[in-house]
Each structure stands twice: as structure tokens, then as C-alpha cells.
């Protein structure tokens, strides 16, 4: 049937619309489910030197970031940056993520550097993989786990959205302040799972951050081989005075942790699939699937309205 060739377009339009609506309504960005980063499986040690051949030869996903413009202080310039990402897992249960981005200035703390802002990068994970938390550092109900890397070489494990729902006793048991006073908190020493290796040369930061996949700490997600997790990225350019809320951030992306059992063909397929969807998204209009796109749009609005209505009339009253 002719129409079947256009069906993916409609679906894409619908997805794009949902992403838009959900994004605007501050829930989540569905794009995360479609674009992917593959953590390759390695037998034995993963090289941690960012300049090693291993990382240099690995294919990297290019993730776009934009200056956040939701909370004060705004970065001001609506500039776009990119971070190139690769990842690896191994049989010893280590996850390593390679981040590489262009930054003509190396901003690191120096003696007396009271107006120096170090360059920083962060990767964000949902604490629970059931549904996607709010992209901007989670919410009370859905906290996010963050690894913050700071030049020249420091990695911290943080929690944001900070599980406000917990009782003071629960929080104290987790080594947090009994009363949450900050939207983002440093986890106690036993939950500091991330470490890093970093190099800056010729205007490029190359950073490897790594952690054991398993976690016994409630607010650090435990990861397993073969699993898909959502990730989001952030960068700070110190030379532009960026720190805290002044940063650029990405949408959610999928990080697939390969396992030894996973047949390689399947993996490639996933990658191509996600890429196709990405492309289709941008070419939807030029290919002229307007009618169907419109249909998708209308269906999307209907679905959304129904969902909201269902939520308001069915779910909400029960919560109260």
C-alpha cells in the first residue's frame, strides 16, 4: 500500500509533537527514546587515558547542547555547542564514558585565580528508569543522579530533585542533611562512585569518567549489561564565566550498555534506526508528507487532551 510508506512519517510527526508538548509542559523529551549512544563491550580493562587509541578510534555520537534559558542566571547567548560522546562497559562491571568538546581556553583553578571559573561537564541519569524525569535536574518525585566533572580533574556524584519526598529520617539514613535545602546535593562519601581522567590539548577537552555499574546506594542507579538508560549532558565554559545555572544542556538520549550476549547485528540496527528517525524528523516537511503530518498532529493533540483529561479526572483525585 502506498500509504504505508508514509506511516512512519505520521508516527514521527506524532512523536515530535508529543516531544514538543511534553517538553513545553515540562515533563520530558521523548527524543531521548529515539537517539542513542552505544557503550561497547570490552573484554578486560577499558583504557582510562582519554588520548588512548581505544577512545580515539571509537565512533562518537554528537550531542547538541543549547544554553539553558529557564532559570536565572541565564547564559544570555543562545549559542549551540556539541559534545562528542562514546562509552564502554567491560566484563568487570565498569562503565566508562568519553566526553570530548571544543573549548579554546583551558580554564582551571590557578593560585590567586579568584575570578577564574573552571570548565565543567556533567552527565545526568534518572534515578529510576521507569519514566523520564524532568530534563532540568529532575523533580521531587523523580530525582536525577548527576556526575559533575570539573577541570582539571575532579568528579563528584550528586543528586538533584533531591528526593524531597523522603522523611528526615530516611534522608539522614542516606547520609544527607535531614532537611533538604538545596535543589542539588553532594552525596556522602560512600556514594561517590565516579572518577575521571582528563586532558586538554589544542582547544579540545577529552574526559573519561567512569564508575562501577553496580550500586548499593539508593540514590545512585545500579546499571546492568544489556540495559538501556537515559542520559543527558551539560557543559560549562569557564572563560565565559559559566557556573551553576549558566550552562548549556542537551535533551535526553539513550545509552545502551552492550553485553557479551548481544549479537552485534542487533546493535548496529538499533543505531541505524535511531539515526533514521532523527533524520526523518528534520526532513518531514521537505518530503511533503504534510497531510499525514497534520493528521498526526491532530491525533497528537487528541491523545494529549485525552491523557490530560484522564490524568485530571482519574489519577489526580486518587492521589488526594
Partner 1 sequence: MVRAQISMVMVLDKCIGCHTCSLTCKNVWTNREGQEYAWWNNVETRPGVGFPKVWENQEKYGGGWTLQNGKLRLRIETKKYKMPSKEDYYEPFTYEYDKLFSDQLMDQQPHADPISLYSDEKIEVQWGPNFDDDLAGGDLTIPADPNWAGMEKAMYKEFKNVFMFYLPRICNHCLNPSCLAACPRKSIYKRPEDGIVLIDQTRCRGYRQCVQACPYKKVYYNWKTGKSEKCIFCYPRIETGQPPVCALTCVGKIRYVGVVLYDEERALEVAKAPESQLVALQRDLILDPFDPQVVRAAREAGVPDNFIEAARKSPIYYMFKKWEIALPLHPEFRTLPMVFYVPPLNPVITILDKNGKLGADYDSVIPTIDKLRIPIRYLANMFAAGNEEEVRKALKKLLAIREFFRQIEVEGKSKSEAAWVLEENGLTVQDAEMMFRWLAHSRDRYVIPTAKKELRIRVPRRG
**Residue from 126, 143, 180, 289 that binds partner 1 (CB under 8 A)?**
180
Judge contact between 142 and 128, C-beta under 8 A.
yes
- For residues 105 and 225, give the distance between their C-alpha atoms in angstroms, rounded to a whole number: 37
Residue 175 contacts partner 1 per CB under 8 A: no
Residue nearer to partner 1 on the CB measure, 111 or 317 = 111
Which residues make beta-bridge pairs with 81?
65
Q: Answer whether 119's CB lies under 8 Å from 95's CB.
A: no
Residues whose CB falls within 8 Å of the CB of residue 258, separated by 6 or more in sequence, listed in order: 38, 39, 40, 41, 89, 225, 226, 267
Instruction: Show the binding pattern over residues 116-155: x = contacts partner 1 (CB under 8 A), - = does not.
Output: xxx-------------------------------x-----
Omega prior to 73 cis, within 30 of 0: yes
Q: Least separation, in Å, of the C-beta of 186 and partner 1?
A: 6
What is the SS3 assignment for 12? helix
| Residue 169 in contact with partner 1, rule: CB under 8 A | no
Count residues binding partner 1 (CB under 8 A). Answer: 28
In the bound state with partner 1, the residue whose beta carbon lies nearer, of 43 and 182, is: 182
Q: Build a one-symbol-per-residue string for 280-299: x at contacts with partner 1 by CB under 8 A, - elsewhere.
A: --------------------
Q: Which stretch binds partner 1 (CB under 8 A): 44-52, 112-120, 207-215, 272-280?
A: 112-120
- For the segment 76-105, give every residue that binds partner 1 (CB under 8 A): 76
Distance, in Å, from the CA atom of 212 to the CA atom of 300, rounded to the nearest integer, reads 41
String marking each residue 189-228 x if it binds partner 1 according to CB under 8 A:
----------------------------------------
Tell me if 185 contacts partner 1 by CB under 8 A. Answer: yes
Binding to partner 1 (CB under 8 A) within 237-276 occurs at 241, 243-245
Q: Measured from the CB of residue 127, what is the shortest distance to partner 1 in angstroms? A: 18
In this structure, are strands 94-102 and 154-160 parallel, antiparallel, or unpaired?
unpaired
Calculate the dihedral angle through the C-alpha atoms of 8, 11, 17, 23, rounding to the nearest 10 degrees: -100
108 binds partner 1 (CB under 8 A): no
Q: Give the closest residue to 210 by CA, choosing from 221, 196, 200, 199.
A: 196
User: Binding of partner 1 at residue 73 (CB under 8 A)?
Assistant: yes
DSSP lists the bridge partners of residue 122 as 148, 234
The secondary structure of 133-201 as a DSSP string is: PPTTT--SSS-EEEEEEETTTEEEEEEESTTTTS-HHHHHHTTS-SS--SSEEEPPGGG---EEEEEEE
CB of 201 to partner 1, least distance (A): 23
**Pairing of the two strands 253-257 and 36-42:** parallel
Of residues 48, 184, 199, 303, which one binds partner 1 by CB under 8 A?
Answer: 184
- Report the residue number, 71 or 294, with the smaller CB distance to partner 1: 71
Stretch that binds partner 1, among 36-44, 111-119, 227-235, 310-318 (CB under 8 A): 111-119
**What is the binding site for partner 1 (CB under 8 A)?**
71-73, 76, 109-118, 150, 164, 179-186, 241, 243-245
Amino acid at each position: 500500500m502506498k500509504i504505508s510508506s508514509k506511516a512512519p512519517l505520521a508516527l514521527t510527526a506524532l512523536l515530535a509533537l508529543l516531544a514538543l508538548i511534553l517538553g513545553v509542559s515540562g515533563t520530558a523529551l521523548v527524543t531521548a527514546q529515539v537517539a542513542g549512544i552505544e557503550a561497547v563491550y570490552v573484554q578486560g580493562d577499558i583504557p582510562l587515558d582519554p588520548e588512548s587509541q581505544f577512545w580515539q578510534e571509537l565512533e562518537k555520537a554528537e550531542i547538541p547542547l543549547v544554553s539553558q534559558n529557564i532559570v536565572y542566571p541565564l547564559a544570555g547567548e543562545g549559542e549551540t555547542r556539541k559534545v562528542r560522546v562514546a562509552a564502554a562497559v567491560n566484563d568487570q562491571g565498569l562503565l566508562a564514558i568519553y566526553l570530548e568538546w571544543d573549548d579554546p581556553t583551558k580554564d582551571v583553578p590557578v593560585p590567586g585565580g579568584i575570578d577564574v571559573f573552571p570548565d565543567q561537564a556533567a552527565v545526568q541519569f534518572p534515578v529510576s528508569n521507569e519514566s523520564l524525569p524532568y530534563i532540568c535536574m529532575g523533580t521531587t518525585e523523580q530525582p536525577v543522579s548527576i556526575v559533575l566533572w570539573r577541570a582539571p580533574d575532579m568528579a563528584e556524584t550528586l543528586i538533584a530533585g533531591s528526593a524531597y519526598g523522603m522523611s528526615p529520617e530516611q534522608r539522614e539514613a542516606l547520609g544527607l542533611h535531614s532537611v533538604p535545602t538545596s535543589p542539588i546535593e553532594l552525596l556522602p562519601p560512600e556514594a561517590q562512585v565516579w572518577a575521571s581522567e582528563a586532558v586538554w590539548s589544542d582547544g579540545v577537552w577529552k574526559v573519561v569518567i567512569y564508575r562501577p555499574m553496580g550500586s548499593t546506594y539508593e540514590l545512585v542507579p545500579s546499571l546492568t549489561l544489556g540495559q538501556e538508560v537515559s542520559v543527558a549532558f551539560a557543559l560549562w565554559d569557564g572563560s565565559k564565566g559559566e557556573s551553576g545555572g549558566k550552562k548549556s544542556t542537551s535533551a535526553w538520549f539513550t545509552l545502551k550498555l552492550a553485553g557479551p550476549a548481544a549479537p552485534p547485528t542487533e546493535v548496529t540496527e538499533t543505531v541505524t534506526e535511531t539515526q533514521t528517525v532523527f533524520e526523518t524528523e528534520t526532513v518531514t516537511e521537505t518530503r511533503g508528507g504534510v497531510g499525514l503530518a497534520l493528521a498526526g498532529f491532530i491525533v497528537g493533540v487528541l491523545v494529549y487532551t485525552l491523557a490530560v483529561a484522564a490524568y485530571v479526572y482519574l489519577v489526580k483525585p486518587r492521589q488526594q
